[in-house]
Structure 1
Amino acid sequence: MRNFALIGAAGYIAPRHMKAIKETGNNLVAALDKNDSVGIIDSHFPEADFFVEYERFDRHIDLLKRKGTKIDYVSIASPNYLHDSHIRFALKHDAHAICEKPLVLNPHNIDALKVVQDETGKNIYNILQLRLHPSIIALKQKVEEQVAKDPTKVFDVDLTYLTSRGHWYFTSWKGAEDKSGGIATNIGVHFYDMLGWIFGNVKNNQSHLKQADANAGYLEFKHARVRWFLSVNYDYIPDDIKKTGMRTYRSITVDGEEIEFSGGFTDLHTLSYQDILDGGGFGLEEARKSIEIVSNIRKQNAIQNTELEHPFVKKVG
């Protein structure tokens, strides 16, 4: 049984980390969050110590180590802009880090973390759960088979992801680009990772729409031309989806064929943890390509390119 600490215990994704720690047969020893709405801990690890102040949490982890209770892993589910600091915290306390995506906001942060990883001998893992989704694994295998037959093959892909968020979103850290990285980073980074994992290196990266609630653009990989549209605005969800009462719309088509991957998400964190504990996991270099993509998107100005733009761009007035 390994000992875990968790940073960001009150966040949206934290329960999946708690569930993963428990389902892999391990123990959550201590948790941290500046917000104290963390009753969910009782469902998983009621004996875990909880802190709202970083300094007391830091001292507690140090005291545990001196008394013989070593923290093996620190799970990080804090706001995006704090990931870098919290990863360093884990490694400096002689623990491996398991961090939510995006691992960091910029590629140079990966280079700096590699130095700390080499110094400490501890590993940094990124939760890239789509790589473990059965439908995505099947798609990768299908693409590899077709590319083996025709190395020049380039697929046409449309990625559409709308996940409605209320007014709270823009009051929270998620609505601040310097803290979340913006829409493309906050809700898109794991899709870009998946696309790069399947279709190869990036050849072209364009932004066609840059608004606080919606981003769109075009990515060309070695084996794919991708039109993408991401938004947290309910207004852009197709009417037929609205009629069902759904507030989320997720679609990936490859050469016009829909890839069904809407189910199976809730167990992917447990699979991710098990993969790490079994000696696998996705490290710094696996995260690099998607971080480079979102960093470049953030720096770009939107251009008009009706030939390559996603059809949903026309929905935005």
Structure 2
Amino acid sequence: MNFAITGVAGYIAPRHLKAIKETGHNLVAALDPHDSVGLLDSYFPDASFFVEFERFERHLDLLHRKSESERVHFLSICSPNFLHDSHIRLALRIGADAICEKPLVLNPWNLDALETVEKETGRKVYTVLQLRTHPSIIELKRKVDTAIKSQPDKKFDISLDYITSRGLWYDFSWKGSLEKSGGVATNIGIHFFDMLIWIFGHPIHSRLIENNRRAMQGELELRNAFVKWNLSINYDDLPESVKSAGKRTYRSIKIDGEELEFTEGFTDLHTVVYRDILDGKGYGIYDARPSIELAYKIRNGIEF
């Protein structure tokens, strides 16, 4: 099958390029306003490259009007968060399915509109929820499901800390803009919120304790868990042991006081996601909605 990609010069794009290649498919077109895309030589050197969205869109439309073997079947979306909605719509309009990085969109009502376009076009929107494919997370969900079967009202005590330090550049990029990235809760927290909801059930109550541009804390009650969460991009928030080891990222999830080990095994998860999508088992709008709704409420200080 033929793939195209947006945001090919970005941080996450290499994982998508690797997944496309490892699943045996071809990239025919790529878009990014920045032209530092030499990595294409390592994956798909013959892919057409565009720095203007309009020319990229025209190219995909022309391919759509050619033969089945020439059209784009999937558009992989790695562009900044605020562009996801527009690029998903492009995919559906040219008769392609969309594979979009999280967050699928920033605002819940955008999901309603995308569902309508899905129905109109007969195409599908997939999202990348790679933590759901991590072996440690899958095993955790199995254990929790087993426990809940015998104790339906059981509440686990969860503490989540995710500190991934970012330099001053972050504040001046699109990621530092609340309107463009959705802020810390959305940009770095959405996949953890999705994972927790997937395992422990839908949100019941949410309270925000700290809310600033670079760090957020809160408390969350899920159907089967009480969660204390802490997200930060500040280097000073790292534990001293992490700093002394020369590392800049710290992630910790404790369940009833027991640490969940999932520091490894992240590098190939996008390939697993792609294989699932190509086998017709990928996650879509319905699956992404609960975490997007929660992140929106947290971002806007809506407690419930």
Q: Give the TM-score band, short-chain normalised.
A: over 0.9
Instruction: Tell me which residue corresponds to 1:17.
Output: 16
User: Are 2:34 and 1:35 aligned?
Assistant: yes
Aligned length: 302
Q: What pairs up with 1:1-317 in 2 under 5 angstroms?
A: 2-68=1-67, 69-300=70-301
Over residues 257-298 of structure 1, what are the superposed CA-to-partner deviations in whole Å (9 max), with x where a residue is unaligned? 101111111100000000000010000010000001100001
TM-score normalised by L of structure 1: 0.94
Instruction: Tell me which residue corresponds to 1:309.
Output: none
How far apart, in 1, do the equivalents of 2:232 and 2:102 lie? 18
TM-score normalised by L of structure 2: 0.98
How far apart, in 2, do the equivalents of 1:101 and 1:148 lie? 31
Counterpart residue type for residue 260 of structure 2: I
Counterpart residue type for residue 165 of structure 1: R
Asked if the contact 2:235/2:248 (under 8 Å) is kept, the reply is: yes
SS at match of 2:226: strand
Q: Show structure 1 runs of 4+ deviating over 6 A.
A: none
How far apart, in 1, do the equivalents of 2:245 and 2:261 lie? 18
SS at match of 1:242: helix
How far apart, in 2, do the equivalents of 1:62 and 1:150 lie? 54
Counterpart residue type for residue 47 of structure 1: D
Provide the alpha-carbon RMSD of the alignment: 1.1
How far apart, in 2, do the equivalents of 1:249 and 1:298 lie? 22
Over residues 172-231 of structure 1, what are the superposed CA-to-partner deviations in whole Å (9 max), with x where a residue is unaligned? 000000000000000000000000000011100111101111011011000000000001
SS at match of 1:166: coil
Q: CA deviation at 1:301?
A: 6.8
Calculate percent identity across the aligned residue pairs.
60
Counterpart residue type for residue 235 of structure 1: D
How far apart, in 1, do the equivalents of 2:207 and 2:27 lie? 43
SS at match of 2:218: strand
How far apart, in 2, do the equivalents of 1:301 and 1:18 lie? 38
Q: CA deviation at 1:65?
A: 2.5
SS at match of 1:218: strand
Higher mean C-alpha displacement, 17-26 vs 146-155: 146-155
Counterpart residue type for residue 27 of structure 1: N
Q: CA deviation at 1:67?
A: 3.2
Q: CA deviation at 1:27?
A: 0.2
Over residues 152-186 of structure 1, what are the superposed CA-to-partner deviations in whole Å (9 max), with x where a residue is unaligned? 11000000000010111011000000000000000
Q: CA deviation at 1:76?
A: 0.1
Asked if the contact 2:64/2:95 (under 8 Å) is kept, the reply is: no
SS at match of 1:57: helix
Structure 2: any 5+ residue segments left out of the alignment?
none
How far apart, in 2, do the equivalents of 1:65 and 1:194 lie? 36
Asked if the contact 2:3/2:72 (under 8 Å) is kept, the reply is: yes
